[in-house]
């Protein structure tokens, strides 16, 4: 049995791609640039805002301009923090699954802390996660293992399970040597058998049993 859990946020606990797409669409409209499809933007989620904006700029063939990149990141984050969750839904069964757990819970997300806290407040979830490590908490983001290590240190309990949805989470877990429970319905594009993971689940109704059945090696 695990004694603490660390969760990824986007694509794991919540389907936030519609708000992230809306934020990018707003930014591109302000810039007079063509828009990008929902599927394209959803495929850009996972590495945090700087990577998202780099991918958007490349998709539009914009020149590699660090100043413009920084400006677009700052504007995206500011707007997102102001309106974090109008289109965002928890995946079915998440709240019930979290309610069943009597363990300390942390978030380790590449979403910056400001929008993360704003989204949690909007969902009424602030009390659930006493520890939050966001994409701008440290100078490095996932897949660097440092954010996951920090979340674990702040939880101060173990053994730990990490719960995520993406290539980034699989690499983070492997580098941190923490077992990963992989939610299969998020923003991953790599086939399941090519991503290292301890166990996978398709629906949050199955989560509590997976945690109960976990035996640390
Ligand atoms: O904001 C992102 O790009 C990813 O966020 P996540 O780490 O919660 O999946
Ligand atoms: Mg994710």
Ligand 1 pocket check: which of 43, 135, 172 to mutate, most ligand atoms within 8 Å of Cβ? 135
CATH class, domain 17-82, is mainly alpha
pLDDT digits (tens, 9 = 90+) for 50-77: 999 999 999 999 999 999 999 999 999 9
Residues flanking ligand 1, CB < 6 Å? 8-11, 45-48, 52, 109-111, 142, 166
pLDDT of 28 over the 80 cut: yes
The residue nearest atom 9 of ligand 1, judged by CA position, is: 10
Give me ligand 2 centre to Cα 145, in Å. Answer: 15
- Output the average pLDDT for the chain: 96
pLDDT at position 167:
97
> What value does the CA radius of gyration of the chain take, rounded to a whole number of Å?
17
Give me ligand 2 centre to Cα 46, in Å. 5
pLDDT value of residue 6? 98
Task: Note the pLDDT of residue 216.
Answer: 72
Q: Where are the beta strands (DSSP E) in the chain?
A: 4-7, 14-15, 89-90, 105-108, 131-133, 160-164, 180-183, 199-201
Locate the domains of the chain by residue range: 4-15+89-212, 17-82
- Cα-Cα-Cα-Cα dihedral of 172, 175, 178, 183, to 10°? 30
Whether residue 1 has pLDDT greater than 80: no
Cα 85 off chain centre by: 14
Please identify, by atom number, the ligand 1 atom nearest to the C-alpha of residue 187. 9
Catalytic residue set: 8
Distance between Cα 193 and ligand 1 center (Å): 22
Complex prediction ipTM: 0.97
What is the CATH number that goes with domain 4-15+89-212? 3.40.50.1000
Do 4-15+89-212 and 17-82 agree at the fold level?
no
Answer whether residue 217 shows pLDDT above 70: no
Q: Mind listing the pLDDT tens digit for each residue in 168-192?
A: 999 999 999 999 999 999 999 999 9
pLDDT at residue number 151: 98
The atom number, within ligand 1, closest to the CA of 142 reads: 7
Q: Which residue has its alpha carbon closest to ligand 1 atom 4?
A: 46
Query: pLDDT tens, 122-138?
Result: 999 999 999 999 999 99
């Amino acid at each position: 049995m695990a004694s603490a859990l660390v969760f990824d946020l986007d694509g794991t606990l919540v389907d936030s791609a519609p708000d992230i797409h809306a934020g990018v669409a707003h930014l591109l409209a302000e810039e007079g640039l063509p828009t990008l499809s929902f599927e394209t933007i959803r495929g850009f989620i996972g590495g945090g805002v700087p990577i998202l904006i780099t991918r958007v700029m490349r998709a539009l063939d914009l020149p590699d301009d660090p100043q413009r990149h920084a400006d677009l990141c700052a504007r995206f984050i500011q707007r997102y923090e102001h309106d974090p969750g109008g289109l965002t839904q928890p995946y079915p069964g998440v709240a019930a699954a979290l309610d069943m757990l009597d363990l300390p819970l942390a978030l380790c997300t590449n979403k910056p802390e400001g929008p993360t806290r704003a989204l949690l407040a909007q969902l009424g979830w602030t009390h659930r996660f006493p520890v939050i490590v966001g994409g701008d908490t440290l100078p490095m983001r996932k897949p660097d293992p440092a954010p996951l290590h920090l979340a674990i240190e702040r939880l101060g309990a173990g053994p730990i399970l990490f719960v995520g949805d993406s290539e980034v989470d699989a690499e983070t877990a492997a580098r941190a040597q923490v077992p990963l429970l992989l939610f299969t319905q998020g923003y991953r594009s790599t086939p399941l058998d090519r991503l290292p993971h301890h166990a996978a689940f398709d629906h949050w109704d199955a989560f509590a049993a997976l945690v109960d059945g976990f035996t640390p090696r």
